[in-house]
Structure 1
Amino acid sequence: MRAWSVPSVPSLPVRGPEVAVHDTASGRLVTTSPDGPARLYVCGITPYDATHMGHAATYVGFDLLVRAWRNAGHDVTYVQNVTDVDDPLLERATKVGIDWVALAERETQLFRDDMEALRVLPPAAYVGAVESIPLVVALIQRLEAAGAVYRVDDDLYFSVTADPAFGGVSGWDRDQMLEIFGQRGGDPERPGKRDPLDCLLWRAERPGEPAWESPFGPGRPGWHIECSAIALEHLGSAFDVQGGGSDLVFPHHEMSASEVQVADPSHPFARAYTHAGMVAYDGEKMSKSRGNLVFVSQLRRSDIDPMAIRFVLLGHHYRSDWEWTDDLLWQAAETLEQWRKALWLGAGAPADAVVAQVLAAVADDLDAPTALASVQAWVDATLGTDGLADTSDPTAGQAVRDVIDAALGLSI
């Protein structure tokens, strides 16, 4: 599956610091230490509706990580999946009377368009669940060989007790897991399971549903095994960062990690697990089930500058939970106009300090709000908002323009 086009990103004359991110599993900040290219896996969309601000916040957040690694001098291997066959997609297709393949292709293209508009750097491998079915089958066979697979009727399940480290990603106790599992795609009440927390690996063919041939009989992959197989194939074990929204900590990232760790017990799935916060609207987390969504594509069609959308997202630390409002968007548009005015001058306040501050902030757990504040201080000094303009650096405008593009993804 193809990704989207690569935006032009300026090269900087200075190198940024090594990058530290918050690791959910340990609960602390860890400095990444890539062995070769930095390796990142971010869980992608299930393409049954348009990209909303919760999605956009996650992918812009991890775009900061890719940029920070590159500015620190690392090559980056970034992998993202598309769950292009799953229950929500099939249910939506039936409800609206459209072929599920056509729906997935349409919404995936809309996602690509949104990511291009927001200047998110594309993954090196953008992999659909359907095209990864041979990888899923091979991984299930490895899990079978490890004694971690059993049948319930014609479905295959993964035994979570096969992984001694199960629970290490979320840090949750069993009661917490059981409370949430059923709300996030699990089936703890299904008769015949050895453990209520065991997760589906292979769903046997049901009437009216798509299915693919396999050694286990016709069917399709479970959710977690899809990401396990794709990450293992394209990144290997012990890759640098597993990323996604905080709602994926359990069960998705917990299960994906355990499946790979049983197949390859000599290595952890990932070295760090990093999670973006949730975006609310009208007082509740944005979700398709609630219908309280603000779509990137709708704003773009309303002639909203995509950089204003990105600016709003950058104004909140990627790990924070926050609420979208229209006022934030209008404030962002006004601020960008002020920044453009300062940058168009060419000369400005000395740029070396703000360049270093922006790179340091983004390398420090992707702290975009602090980086924005540093640029705003430079803009204020350049325009003389206190009555005393500083244009002593004749090349400052270009230097600041380059760092906010290379580090923050803002093209101004």
Structure 2
Amino acid sequence: MIHLHDSLSGRRQPLETLEPGHVRLYVCGVTVYDYCHLGHARVMIVFDMFVRYLRAQGWRVTYVRNITDIDDKIINRARETDDTPEAIALRFAEAMREDEAALGLEAPNQEPTATGHVEQIIAMIERLVETGAAYVGESDGDRADVYYDVSTFENYGALSGRRTEDLRAGARIAVNESKTDPLDFVLWKAVKPGEPSWESPWGPGRPGWHIECSAMSTHCLGDSFDIHGGGLDLQFPHHENEIAQSEAATGQRYATRWMHNGFVTVDDEKMSKSLGNFLTIRDVLDRYDAESVRYFVLSSHYRSPLAYTAEAMDAATSSLSRLYTALRDVPGNSVESEAADAFEARFTQAMADDLNTPAAIAVLFEMARESNRLKTREPEEAGAIAVRLRVLGGQIGLLQQSPEAFLQGGQATGPDALDAETVEDLLHERREARNAKDFARADEIRDELTAKGIALEDGPNGTLWRRV
């Protein structure tokens, strides 16, 4: 039984779903106004891992992750670049999909857009106005804003652990807002000059950010679904507002449980575009293999902060290389193995404990060490453990390349970097020198390769190499 931490209750609870065997998951996606950064990559990788693991365990999963394609940030970027908001959103949505493909992520089952669900958004706002949970602000000619009345929702603040009195003390109403309480939030924004708009009962305008996710998630998954996920930065106010407006509109419990992944930090600060301390996914993939990025993310528990440094990424690549090295030169058999079964049981136990990927990866390393130890004297058992190692790694999206592709396919960067063909030529020359008993030349070649980041491993079946 998988147990997951629920952000709303603050407790770990067994994964029980509304429909037995079927997990319906909604994750807040990206606002597409710029290239995705490593913080976005963490959300994508964490929930990709979660979905892969659930499916490996026999669950049916419907995974929905939205795209916010209309927002103040998109409109502002369009003005800065003398482009249209639609063109900006399309360009960066495509860039996001390219980044996902480069990271080796599986696509969600559904990827709804805000602009594709304006009809559902307007219908939900109408229900909220009808029930008294929302109100229409002062009109400006033929248009008006619509606000959610936070005072009508008794449990507002439960997800983030905040009290409305405390929130109200630090809030204010902007000059151009007609809401009655500083905590009230906008559901529909009256159009301003130069902005895209849609017709509505309150005149031309566009949706507020929070209502978009409520309308998209309930349209795709139903009024109630199993898990709502996203980054910790969305817990308040975005997810708090989603709960309030969704439950007021439907009369049903919104999501059964909430999952939030921790921040990515740089120099002890949260990575964000507003702080200017972010690395795009493309920046990172220019230097590191996509699987190294995935290993780096999964080597910390998904709810913990994740500190990005070049040293941490180098360590991730080195650790992953050790696992791939264990898969080299072993017979690929899947014979029965009590040792492999025991390792799998411990791996599964770690993942059942709130997706404890660091503990699960530690089991993978134990398997690698055991397989290495048995390679010579019990090759069949070593092969059985290695096969299971690859299978378990695959359940969280690791170890799916061939060992040679990973170990030899790293970035050959710098003016003195060697490509694979050159390395093979030097290894051929080294073999020739050793056969001729010219050990001095053979050692020179090894030293040359070592200096250029190529490690050699001489064994009974020849010489293997990998990039360091």
The TM-score, its normalising length taken from structure 1, stands at: 0.88
Aligned to 2:320: 336
- Would you say the 8 A contact 2:367–2:385 is kept in 1? no
- Would you say the 8 A contact 2:198–2:205 is kept in 1? yes
Q: Which has the larger radius of gyration?
A: 2
Aligned to 1:7: none
Which structure 1 residue ranges, 5 or more long, are not aligned? 1-17
Is 1:101 aligned with 2:90? Answer: no
State the one-letter code of the partner of 2:343.
V
State the one-letter code of the partner of 2:307.
E
- Which of 167, 186, 189 lines up with 1:177 in the alignment? 167
Identity of aligned residues (%): 36
State the one-letter code of the partner of 1:28.
R
- Would you say the 8 A contact 2:103–2:290 is kept in 1? yes
TM alignment of 1:305-324, pairs within 5 A:
305-324=289-308
- Which of 364, 386, 391 lines up with 1:402 in the alignment? 391
State the one-letter code of the partner of 2:23.
A
Q: How many residues align?
A: 388
State the one-letter code of the partner of 1:312.
F
Is 1:366 aligned with 2:352? Answer: no
Aligned to 1:11: none
Distance 1:332 1:322 in 2: 13
CA deviation after TM superposition for structure 1 residue 34, in Å:
1.6
Aligned to 1:193: 179
Aligned to 1:260: 246
Aligned to 1:3: none
Aligned to 2:32: 47
Distance 2:169 2:214 in 1: 24
Distance 1:196 1:410, change over 3 A: farther
TM alignment of 1:11-410, pairs within 5 A:
18-36=1-19, 37-153=22-138, 154-178=144-168, 191-265=177-251, 267-300=252-285, 302=286, 304-347=288-331, 350-384=339-373, 391=379, 392-410=381-399
Distance 1:203 1:335 in 2: 50
CA deviation after TM superposition for structure 1 residue 174, in Å:
2.2
State the one-letter code of the partner of 1:30.
Q
Distance 1:83 1:41 in 2: 14
- Would you say the 8 A contact 1:211–1:218 is kept in 2? yes
Aligned to 2:460: none
Which secondary structure does the structure 2 equivalent of 1:202 belong to?
A: strand
CA deviation after TM superposition for structure 1 residue 256, in Å:
0.6
Distance 1:390 1:304, change over 3 A: farther
CA shift digits 1:323-356 (9 cap, x unpaired)? 1001111111122222111112335994222323
Distance 1:379 1:303, change over 3 A: same
Distance 2:307 2:378 in 1: 36
- Would you say the 8 A contact 1:181–1:188 is kept in 2? no
CA deviation after TM superposition for structure 1 residue 357, in Å:
2.4
Distance 1:319 1:176, change over 3 A: farther
State the one-letter code of the partner of 1:233.
H
Distance 1:164 1:252 in 2: 17
**Cα-Cα RMSD:** 2.3
List, as ranges, runs of 4+ consecutive aligned residues in structure 1 with deviation greater than 4 Å: 178-182, 187-191, 387-391
Distance 1:248 1:189, change over 3 A: farther
- Would you say the 8 A contact 1:310–1:410 is kept in 2? no
CA deviation after TM superposition for structure 1 residue 363, in Å:
2.6
- Would you say the 8 A contact 1:44–1:83 is kept in 2? yes
Distance 1:164 1:115, change over 3 A: same
Distance 1:401 1:159, change over 3 A: same
Which structure 2 residue ranges, 5 or more long, are not aligned? 139-143, 402-468
CA deviation after TM superposition for structure 1 residue 55, in Å:
1.0
- Would you say the 8 A contact 2:5–2:13 is kept in 1? yes
Larger relative contact order (C-alpha < 8 A, sep ≥ 6)? 1
The TM-score, its normalising length taken from structure 2, stands at: 0.78
- Would you say the 8 A contact 1:212–1:219 is kept in 2? yes
Q: Name the stretch that deviates more: 314-323 or 112-121.
A: 112-121
Distance 2:225 2:328 in 1: 42
CA deviation after TM superposition for structure 1 residue 400, in Å:
1.4
Distance 1:347 1:355, change over 3 A: farther
- Would you say the 8 A contact 1:280–1:322 is kept in 2? yes
